[in-house]
């Protein structure tokens, strides 16, 4: 695996190597020792998967608060998606900034979304499947969010992003300026 630091402090893009031949390919998509050395010593406790049937489906921006904070290692196993992480750590030099990456089943790239970041995505193809490992268990009480279209953040979503696909919960998420300080930045 090749691991590249992104502009947001702590976020990483991971390129698993693929060994291919006429039959297809083999890829090691996660290796704990290398991940610990280059990203941090995180334990993953749950794997999640979601299918978006229609292109333009928007999910997020989501995060979990204490005591069930989650880091996410995200990849696309079918179709394609535009994946986004937003730094919401109070005091961080990159607070309120975002990164976005196109993850596809074909390119195999993965995005590390550290604790203290909101996460969301937009499906780019029909029947897109996103899979992600998380560092904390899901908790309904700790399930929080941020408005996907907050102009203060200015995420450049793909043209096909369809607000009509938002869940009821995601239609009511607060803007960054109204968000409680759930996380603090420390070096």
pLDDT, the chain, mean = 95
Q: Is 28 within a domain?
A: no
Return phi, psi of residue 55, to 5°.
-65, 145
pLDDT confidence tier of residue 85, bands split at 50, 70 and 90: very high
Instruction: Provide the pairing of β-strand 72-78 with 183-184.
Output: unpaired
- DSSP letters, 66-130, are TTS---EEEEEEESEEEEEEEE-EET-TTTT-EEEEEEETTT--EEEE-TTEEEEEEE-STTEEE
Q: Is 63 within a domain?
A: yes
Q: Is 105 within a domain?
A: yes
Contact of 124 with 28, CB cutoff 8 Å: no
Mean pLDDT of 52-75: 97
| pLDDT above 90 (res 149) | yes
Burial of 29 (0-12, 13-18, 19+ CB in 10 A): middle
Among 17, 132, 138, 182, the active-site one is 132
| pLDDT above 90 (res 88) | yes
Q: Is 115 within a domain?
A: yes
The confidence score (pLDDT) of residue 23 equals 87
pLDDT confidence tier of residue 27, bands split at 50, 70 and 90: confident
Residue 132 a catalytic site member: yes
Nearest one of 140, 135, 142, 101 to 11, comparing CA atoms: 101
Q: Is 21 within a domain?
A: no
Mean pLDDT of 86-115: 96
| pLDDT above 80 (res 68) | yes
The confidence score (pLDDT) of residue 31 equals 87
| pLDDT above 80 (res 187) | no
Among 25, 62, 138, 182, the active-site one is 62
Contact of 3 with 17, CB cutoff 8 Å: no
Residue 119 a catalytic site member: no
CATH number of the domain bearing residue 54: 2.60.120.10
pLDDT confidence tier of residue 105, bands split at 50, 70 and 90: very high
The confidence score (pLDDT) of residue 12 equals 94
The number of domains in the chain is 1
Mean pLDDT of 45-53: 97
- The predicted model scores a pTM of 0.93
Q: Is 34 within a domain?
A: no
The confidence score (pLDDT) of residue 18 equals 87
Q: Is 163 within a domain?
A: yes
Residue 71's domain comprises 43-178
């Amino acid at each position: 695996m090749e691991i590249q630091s992104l502009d947001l402090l702590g976020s990483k893009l991971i390129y698993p190597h693929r060994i291919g031949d006429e039959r297809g390919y083999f890829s090691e998509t996660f290796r704990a020792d290398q991940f610990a050395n280059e990203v941090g010593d995180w334990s993953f406790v749950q794997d999640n998967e979601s299918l978006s049937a229609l292109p333009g489906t928007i999910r997020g921006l989501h995060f979990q608060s204490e005591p069930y904070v989650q880091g996410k290692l995200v990849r696309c196993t079918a179709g394609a998606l535009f994946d986004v992480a937003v730094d919401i750590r109070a005091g961080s030099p990159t607070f309120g900034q975002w990164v976005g990456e196109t993850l596809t089943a074909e390119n195999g790239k993965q995005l590390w979304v550290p604790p203290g970041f909101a996460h969301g995505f937009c499906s780019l193809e029909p029947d897109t499947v996103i899979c992600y490992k998380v560092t904390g268990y899901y908790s309904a009480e700790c399930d929080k969010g941020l408005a996907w279209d907050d102009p203060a953040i200015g995420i450049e979503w793909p043209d096909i992003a369809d607000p009509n696909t938002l869940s009821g919960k995601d239609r009511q998420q607060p803007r960054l300026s109204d968000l409680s300080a759930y996380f603090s930045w420390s070096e």
